[in-house]
Amino acid sequence: MADPRHLSGTIVLITLLALAPAIFCFLTSMPPGSSIADINTRSIYGLHGKYIIFRAAAFIPAAWVFTEYLRTYLFTGFPWSLLAYSQTLNPSFIQIADVTGAYGISFLIVLFNVGVYMAAKRISKSLYLLIAISIIFALVLIYGQYKMRLTFPAMNKLKVAIVQGNIPQEKKWDPRYRNFIIDRYEALTEKAALEDPDLIIWPETSIPGYFEDEQDIKDRLTDLAIEADAFFLFGTLRQKKEKVYNSAILLSAQGKALGKYDKIHLVPFGEYVPLRFLSGGLRELIDKPIGDFGGGNRFKVFKFRLSNTINQGGQIQKTTEFYNFSALICFEDIFPDMSRRFVKQGARFLVNITNDAWFGKSAAPFQHAQGSIFRAVENKVPVIRAANTGVSCVIDHCGRVVAIVKQGKEAIAVKGYINSAISLPAIKTIYTRLGDLFAWFCILVTFFGIANFYLKTRKI
């Protein structure tokens, strides 16, 4: 017999994820009988000519964006697998996201499908719509190719090492495996350090304890940073007064703590119980342990510098490069506005440290990585992912995966490390500066469409 806790948790998640498409279907069938499926050359409710085009080319795609935006923020938000993410393997098509965000790509996908449906059904004005869609898609692809071919002034590349420990979830917090976990990460890091990285990155809560409070852990990690002669970012729990935080800490190559970031957007029913006074009983129904974490309130930008000595023709030259970056913990990278705010405050690249061991060997770790790809494109910054069980990779500013931890063909449920180098374009995109302006435009179009069709219905 199935555990009722599994069933209850599944029902809660399915219900939340089903709300957005349900609202979309409701909106696009208002007034009754006015959906695209019901519109023909002799349109009901007086929906002739321009109204058919408006509904197909503007209202329906905008309504989809509206519901995706709701899913991003409603009940703390869960924008997992937005429609746009289906195009992560088509980099030239998604570059327009640096203007519209991921929502613009979702809009175009729905627009294309509506156009094809209308043409197949020979609905009035569908030929004109298809021509317009073809022109729009051509312009989007041209823009994408232009963005991907842009070059930037040469500068020293930052060398990064990513360590993937592959610690099963049932072992992560078992005291019997404490030394085993640290030993594994140390061994992998020592191998990665042979290639002289500037920055070493471990995943979320890779430390099986509290770095600031457990001296043996603190000594081992400090010594590791010194031996590797590299900056060192890792995930750890951190306690302050009565609160426990899911945090990222940066050490210098001398082993000194340079700063910390406390996770801001906590996972509901994973790291805390939302609306505790209303939903306390759900704790017993969810089949996973629920933490009681404190949420951070500061969008931290880590800063460090690297000095290099170059011998050119017998002349010694010393160069200094300054680097700013921010860490996104766990699923924070699926929230577009969080990444945008970090970049707007000065981060020149982003690091996502995560523990996706919960998902096992499934499609979910790859779906999670799709969010990081879009964050890179939207803000035109590299994104580095360090995941306990995968996917750990380096994504360039155009959303291309340039390095990934693998064993053979497997990228998840494997241990390993990679060394790679990233370039840092010094640009601010329209999306970084203005945010979800396109999504808000779609929301206005949606409400205008609802009002317009109701008014026309009443006149008949």
Active site residues: 204, 263, 330
> Which residues in 159-169 are b (16+ Cβ under 10 Å) and which e?
bbbbbbbbbeb
Listed in sequence order, the DSSP H helices in 121-157 are: 126-149
Strand order in the sheet with 199-201: 257-262, 243-251, 231-240, 199-201, 158-164, 416-422
Alpha carbon separation from 209 to 205, 237, 345, 423 (Å, rounded): 8, 6, 31, 34
Residue 104 Cα distances to 87, 90, 294, 339, 343, angstroms = 12, 15, 34, 17, 20
Instruction: State how far the Cα of 262 lies from the Cα of 350, in Å rounded to an integer.
Output: 15
Q: Is the peptide bond before 289 cis (omega within 30 degrees of 0)?
A: no
Q: Beta strand pairing status for 393-395 and 383-387?
A: antiparallel
In the block, residue with structure tokens 């460090």: 304
Of 333, 331, 344, nearest in space to 399 by CA? 333
User: What does the alpha-carbon distance between residue 201 and residue 239 come to, in Å, rounded to a whole number?
Assistant: 22
Which positions ≥6 away from 190 have C-beta within 8 Å? 224, 227, 228
Q: Which two tokens stand for residue 136?
A: 């729009």
Report which of 275, 228, 231 is spatially closest to residue 257, judged by C-alpha positions: 231
HEC readout, 291-318: CCCCCCCCCCCEEEEEEEEEEECCEEEE
Show the CA angle centred on residue 74, arms to residues 69 and 79, nearest 5°: 50
Q: DSSP H helical segments within 312-363, as ranges?
A: 336-344
Distance CA 315, CA 313 (A): 5
Distance CA(358)–CA(331), nearest Å, equals 12
d(CA 220, CA 181): 13
